Amino acid sequence: MAARIQIPREARRGEVIEVCILIQHPMETGYRHDDVGHLIKRNVINVLSCRYNGVEVFRADLSSGISANPYVQFYTVAEASGDLEFTWADDEGQRGSERQAIVVKG
């Protein structure tokens, strides 16, 4: 499961920064049928969380109501240099994670 995180490379301490994540995932609803008429099993990313230097700053419960290749954007306060690490899991138990570094000045 590939994902792309977009955050500023640098920020001032205390600045509110925009965080975006886009994960490549079908978010299979469980309501579609395959070519021979069998129901395709539901498989959605049901939990997504973001840790900033080990502290959880954001968490989301997702469902089939979120589009394929889920995109989530939120904000966080730049407190210290370090990493933003995203982790997520889908219904089939597959887990993914991705991290991105940020430099905080001042």
Partner 1 sequence: MRRRDFLASAVGALALPGAALAQADPVDPLVRALANGAPLRKGKVALVLPQLADNGNSVPIRITVDSPMTPADHVKSIHLYSERNPVPNMANFYLSPRAGRAEINSRVRLAGSQRVTAVAKLSDGSFWYAAAPIVVTLSACLDES
Beta carbon of residue 59, minimum distance to partner 1 (angstroms, whole number)? 4
CA gyration radius, the chain:
16
Decide: 73 and 18 in contact? Cβ < 8 Å.
Answer: yes
Pair of tokens at residue 72: 């989530």
Among 6, 9, 4, 39, CA closest to 25 = 4
Asked if residue 58 binds partner 1 (CB under 8 A), the reply is yes
Asked if residue 91 binds partner 1 (CB under 8 A), the reply is no
Asked if residue 68 binds partner 1 (CB under 8 A), the reply is yes
Decide: 90 and 33 in contact? Cβ < 8 Å.
Answer: no
Mark the segment that binds partner 1 (CB under 8 A) among 5-13, 59-67, 80-88, 90-98: 59-67
Asked if residue 31 binds partner 1 (CB under 8 A), the reply is yes
Q: What does the binding site for partner 1 look like in residue numbers (CB under 8 A)?
A: 16, 27, 29, 31-33, 52, 55-68, 70-77, 79
